[in-house]
Amino acid sequence: MRKFGHFSKTMLSVNIPVFNIDVTPLVKQLVLQAEKLRTGFEIRVYDDGSNEKIKLVNREIQHLPGVVYKELLKNLGRAAIRNKMGMDSVFEYLLFIDADSLPVTENYLQNYMGNLQQNLVVCGGTAYRKEKPAALGELLRWYYGTYREAIPAAQRNNAKGFIITSNNFLIEKRVFEKIRFRENIGVYGHEDTLLGYDLFKSGISILHIDNPVLHTGLEDAPVFLEKTRLALNSLYKIDTELLKEDLIFALQVNFLNRYISIKRVVPAVFLRLFFKMFHRVIEANLKGRFPVLLFLDLYKLGYYATLEKQ
């Protein structure tokens, strides 16, 4: 068995939650890479209430070596299904990957195995195709991903603080048993931000490396905007209820830090007025052929200000 640093019996559990996505290309690539590691591995794929057409496609992976495929009877949600998969995993390192992903390199798993340390969470990052999508509705998601999410590891290590991204990260199971995704947020978004905060508060370090997965699932602009609003709802609940305006959290989360700074100059009432007057105009731009990310930033600030009033 290969040795990785001082780990001689390192074994890996890969966890892929699935909801209405064909996961067969991802799983097949991971099986090929895992077999080359010459170490114990499993690839857990849990379906979280997909439609029957998708489940029929994905069932073929259950015959691949090392794959554990399960279909859950009811939808658990983003946090709960990841917690269940992590706790069901049998090996000492857990790698979480979103289903709408593909490894960028043939050494994707090997790169993670070469960065194992105790009390360290490793995040690989996200990549997007260089070519713009042909579909008009996918342009906003591509622009946002390309210019806001596809960030080199050096920049992420300097700027992200405790922020992790749940689409591509590795964590020790013994750590995950103590610090899991919180399931009481209730709405979509920022589960990973809160997990990163909880890890940070417990003294667990986070390392960002250049080991991205390609994000293949580009939502149409209306869907992306709806998810953006839901994520802001979630962030507001985390900041004002779960953490009760914890200053460390607010300063480390880029959006909250920026929002607090802007409110010192522009009162929230004017941000709300701006959103009321211009949100439809901004949405029209963001759904069009030339979406402007600055408009998206202003849209988010205005929307968040409306949550404060509520």
pLDDT tens-place string over residues 41-69: 999 999 999 999 999 999 999 999 999 99
DSSP-derived pairing of the beta strands 67-71 and 41-47: parallel
Percent of the chain exceeding pLDDT 90 equals 80
Q: What is the maximum span of the chain, computed from C-alpha positions, in angstroms?
A: 64
Q: What per-residue confidence (pLDDT) applies to 10?
A: 64
What sign results for the dihedral spanned by CA atoms 146, 296, 207, 16?
negative
- R_g of the chain computed on alpha carbons: 20
For residues 169 and 160, what is the distance between their CA atoms, to the nearest angstrom?
Answer: 14
Higher-confidence residue of 2 and 273: namely 273
Last residue of a domain, one of 218, 243, 270: 218
7 in a structural domain: no
User: C-alpha distances in angstroms, 113 versus 8, 47, 116, 220?
Assistant: 11, 26, 6, 35
Domain boundary residue, one of 174, 193, 218: 218
Domain of residue 249 covers 224-309
Tell me, yes or no, whether 52 and 167 share the same domain: yes
Confidence (pTM): 0.91
Strands (E), 192-279: 205-208, 213-215
State the average pLDDT for the chain: 92
Last residue of a domain, one of 193, 218, 243: 218
Residue where the block lists tokens 């700074």:
261
Q: Which residues pair with 213 in a beta bridge?
A: 103, 126
Evaluate if residue 308 carries a pLDDT over 50. Answer: yes
Is residue 154 domain-shared with residue 298, that is, in the same domain?
Answer: no
pLDDT digits (tens, 9 = 90+) for 205-257: 999 999 999 999 999 999 999 999 999 999 999 999 889 878 888 888 989 99
Residue, of 280 and 163, whose pLDDT is higher? 280
Residue 278 main-chain phi, psi, to 5 deg: -120, 0
CA distances from 26 to 68, 92, 132, 163, 277 (A): 14, 22, 22, 25, 44
pLDDT at 263 over 60: yes
